Amino acid sequence: MTADAAGIRIDRDDPRYWTLVRGFNQRFQGAPQFVEVVEDAAATVAAVQRCLDERLRPTVRSGGHCYEGWSSLTDGVIIDVSLMDHAGRDPESGGYFVESGCTNWDLVNGLYRRYGVTLPGGSCYSVGAGGHISGGGYGMLSRLHGLTVDWLDAVELVTVRSGRAELVRVGRDSETVEERELFWAHTGGGGGNFGVITKYFFKQLPKAPPSAWLATLAWEWSDVVQHKDLFFQLIQNFARFFNDHSEPDSRYSALFAILHLRRVAGEQIALTVQHAAQDRRPLDEFLAALQQGIDPSRLPAALPKASVAGHRMIQPHPEVRQMPWLEVTQTDNGSGANQRGKYKSAYMKREFPHHQLEAMWNWLTVDSPTYPKNPLALLQIDSYGCAINAVATAATAVPQRSSVMKLQYQSYWADVSGDEENLAWIRGFYGAMYGPDGPQPDDVMDGCYVNYCDADLGDWATLYYKDSYPRLQKVKAEWDTHDVFNHAQSIRLPG
């Protein structure tokens, strides 16, 4: 280990090396020449310049949550910004700054305790701001307050525009068109494309709610598996509600729900709802709408995870608690243990077509030698819309501004021996839902989320960015002419 102007250099003989070249998804491990841990902007400039001088490709790592491991997969240099983890007041603008190494929990906890504000970002506590915000950044307050990038005012990053590493700050009000376009590219264009982000700036941030309602509800697969029609009814009730109540001025904008459709081996289908308002009535109305048409005599309406002496307790009503909002964010935390995994995504503009309901049933209930039981495989359906959809499509680099749900396909497993079967299951499920071209934008679907990157996607540029992609390519050509910052799905130079 050596320390110099570029930060802390961790070579292959350092015992920390093998930890720092792995990320959240344990399927991937890089083999860089070394890892450069930087603690400020000056060290980041020096680290990038060293990469240029030594002709080594820089790969940027913040929280290490890249689903495809691109923040670790390199034979060049990993520039680790995770020690730049401060957030506070920006003396220049009077607003707030967030360093790119901050985790979601750093931001939620620090901004709340110091200033009583928050970002409408994700609930997975260990995700780093560097990639999360630049990819759009959404979470349980997004229906109420929009995406994180909707509040972004400026970004500081290290670029290589003229053959040398330099620190620039660009924002909405920058003097030149080129600078304003570089800022725009960071409002959803994804991480690792244009430079090394060091700070984000926000003139204002939404006030954190003083409290929120947290509701949980679960259905046992043992009760559901004999009633496909009721399974369909539950999903369509969820989808119909958000199809009907996702306009920007909806009285349900403070309500965010996640439906966890686990495979049968996971034993339960679960629902989590956060309602960040004092009035409980919208929450109760949603829970009632969710169970409309479901006959309790055929399917118990709600079953808790708890049991007494090995016997299930039937709970006819969901568990609903009003809690301080900060406690809710701790309770409803999406990060789990680091494991091997695979992920896919889709945006939905309206309710599910019947063939997709059939695909969900078939692939969640399948039990065969090809697809053995995995309790950690699921389809997660998140609510979307409201304030998110109040923003014009071209205002940011996030073009999906008319969706009402966001889907995430997930599978987790512990050992390399499970790779083939788990990858086959999730790819088969996704193919049954959308076909070989994925969820191409139309009147039902609207592509994929760049922060849930998926190496399987063929037409990823369209699925992530739609019509925004050519504009992103122009920014790339202006600010990274020699494609210094690149990965398997980075923005390509035009031509």
In a domain, 430, yes or no: yes
pLDDT at 372: 83
The CATH number given to whatever domain includes residue 165 is 3.30.465.10
The domain boundary residue, chosen from 39, 62, 80: 80
Instruction: Give the three-state DSSP class for 411.
Output: strand
The residue with tokens 């922060």 is: 451
* Mean predicted confidence (pLDDT) in 288-315: 53
Give the rounded percent of residues in the chain with a pLDDT score beyond 70: 93
In a domain, 435, yes or no: yes
Residues 201, 222 within the same domain: no
- Is the pLDDT score of 367 beyond 90? no
pLDDT at 316: 39
Residues 54, 100 within the same domain: no
Residues 103, 243 within the same domain: no
- Residue 114's domain comprises 87-208+467-479
In a domain, 329, yes or no: yes
pLDDT at 291: 87
- Is the pLDDT score of 305 beyond 80? no
Residues 222, 302 within the same domain: yes
In a domain, 180, yes or no: yes
Q: Are 343 and 228 in contact (CB under 8 A)?
A: no
Residues 110, 72 within the same domain: no
Residues 94, 72 within the same domain: no
pLDDT digits (tens, 9 = 90+) for 209-238: 999 999 999 999 998 988 899 999 999 999
Q: Which of 459, 489, 495, 493 is nearest to 473 (CA)?
A: 493
- Is the pLDDT score of 73 beyond 70? yes
In a domain, 30, yes or no: yes
d(CA 433, CA 429): 6
Residues 173, 293 within the same domain: no
Residues 73, 95 within the same domain: no
Token pair belonging to 58: 């820089």
B/e letters for 364-379, b = 16+ CB within 10 Å, e = fewer, are bebeeeebeebebbbb
pLDDT digits (tens, 9 = 90+) for 19-45: 999 989 999 999 999 999 999 999 999
Output phi, psi for 273, to 5 deg. Answer: -130, 130
- Is the pLDDT score of 398 beyond 50? yes
The CATH number given to whatever domain includes residue 51 is 3.30.43.10
Q: In what side-by-side order are the strands of the sheet with 405-413? A: 319-324, 211-220, 268-275, 255-262, 377-383, 405-413, 340-348
Residues 111, 41 within the same domain: no
In a domain, 493, yes or no: no
Residues 20, 121 within the same domain: no
Q: For Cα atoms 68, 467, 204, give the angle at the middle one, nearest 5 degrees.
A: 75
In a domain, 486, yes or no: no
In a domain, 488, yes or no: no
pLDDT at 331: 77
Domain count, the chain: 3
The CATH number given to whatever domain includes residue 346 is 3.40.462.20
- Is the pLDDT score of 52 beyond 70? yes
Residues 271, 194 within the same domain: no
The conformational region for residue 447 under phi > 0 = left, psi -120 to 50 = alpha, else beta, is left
Q: Which of 72, 7, 18 is nearest to 43 (CA)?
A: 7
Token pair belonging to 216: 């949980």
Residues in contact with 444: Cβ distance below 8 Å, sequence separation at least 6, in sequence order: 348, 349, 350, 353
* Mean predicted confidence (pLDDT) in 205-209: 97
Residues 161, 292 within the same domain: no
162 pLDDT tier (thresholds 50, 70, 90): confident
Q: Which of 135, 146, 143 is nearest to 187 (CA)?
A: 135
What does the mean pLDDT of the chain come to? 92
- Is the pLDDT score of 304 beyond 90? no
Q: Is the dihedral of CA 456, 461, 462, 463 positive or negative?
A: positive
